[in-house]
């Protein structure tokens, strides 16, 4: 179970962030930090910076150390993460997360060189996720008001797999995550849905 609070997300990265991102040369916290840094350097909005930080949250909720793509399994981590994120911060953070897999399928269709830049695991998951979009899927993707931030996230996502780039410590990285979270207003939650604090809301993981 994961309490639906910003701090519970930070704690999840504190507990699970050391786990290797299977198939990639980074651990999960470094991947999240690198993606957040690239968004920060590009002067992205706090909402998009937070989306970049949390885009693979869903991977952290699966079995530790598993490489689902090697087993031919699409873990749908983008949906799992986006559903949790949306409840706290709404669609401006959640939708780029939800669309970051579709953004890969879009970019493979639209940019013939994009596939060459994908990591091995990203190519493997692409097959499980439906491969390149067709024209109708591309047009539907472009109609989403969130497709542009999703594409930015996707480009930074692929760049955020550098083996020797990280904050000075895990605690320093987590402090940066808390800072970004503090810059994005939380959605208001009906008082009837809350106990003494937001930690009373608990979600059951898949």
The count of residues interacting with Fe ion (CB under 5 A) is: 2
Q: Report yes or no: 31 and 160 within 8 Å, Cβ to Cβ.
A: yes
For residue 23, what is the DSSP state? Answer: T
Closest CA to 89 of 38, 115, 50: 50
Q: Compose the 131-160 pattern: x for residues touching Fe ion by CB under 5 A, - for all others.
A: --------------------------x---
| 39-58 footprint of Fe ion as x/- string (CB under 5 A) | -----------------x--
- For residues 95-115, one letter each, b for 16 or more C-beta atoms within 10 angstroms of the residue's C-beta and e for the rest, the string is bbbbbbbbbbbbbbbeeeebe
Task: Report in angstroms how near the CB of residue 166 gets to Fe ion at its nearest.
Answer: 15
**Angle CA(49)–CA(199)–CA(183) in degrees, nearest 5?**
25
Interaction with Fe ion in 55-94: which residues (CB under 5 A)?
A: 56
Residue whose CB is less far from Fe ion, 73 or 182: 73
Tell me how far, at minimum, the Cβ of 92 lies from Fe ion, in Å.
18
The residue (of 95 and 157) whose beta carbon lies closer to Fe ion is: 157
**Min. distance of Cβ 81 from Fe ion in angstroms?**
8
**Which H helix or E strand runs over 59?**
helix 57-60
Enumerate binding residues for Fe ion (CB under 5 A): 56, 157
């Amino acid at each position: 179970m994961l309490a639906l609070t910003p701090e519970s997300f930070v704690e999840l990265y504190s507990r699970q962030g050391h786990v290797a991102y299977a198939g990639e040369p980074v651990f999960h916290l470094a991947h999240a930090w690198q993606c957040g840094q690239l968004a920060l350097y590009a002067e992205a909005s706090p909402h998009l910076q937070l989306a970049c930080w949390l885009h693979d949250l869903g991977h952290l909720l699966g079995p530790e150390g598993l490489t689902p793509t090697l087993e031919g399994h699409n873990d749908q981590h983008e949906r799992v993460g986006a559903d949790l994120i949306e409840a706290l911060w709404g669609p401006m953070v959640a939708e780029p997360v939800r669309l970051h897999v579709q953004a890969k399928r879009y970019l493979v269709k639209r940019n013939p060189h994009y596939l060459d830049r994908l990591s091995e695991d990203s190519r493997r998951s692409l097959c499980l996720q439906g491969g390149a979009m067709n024209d109708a899927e591309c047009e539907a993707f472009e109609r989403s008001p969130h497709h542009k931030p999703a594409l930015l996230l996707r480009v930074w996502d692929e760049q955020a797999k550098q083996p020797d780039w990280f904050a000075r410590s895990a605690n320093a990285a987590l402090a940066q995550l808390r800072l970004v979270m503090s810059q994005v207003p939380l959605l208001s939650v009906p008082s009837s849905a809350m106990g003494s604090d937001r930690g009373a809301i608990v979600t059951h993981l898949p």
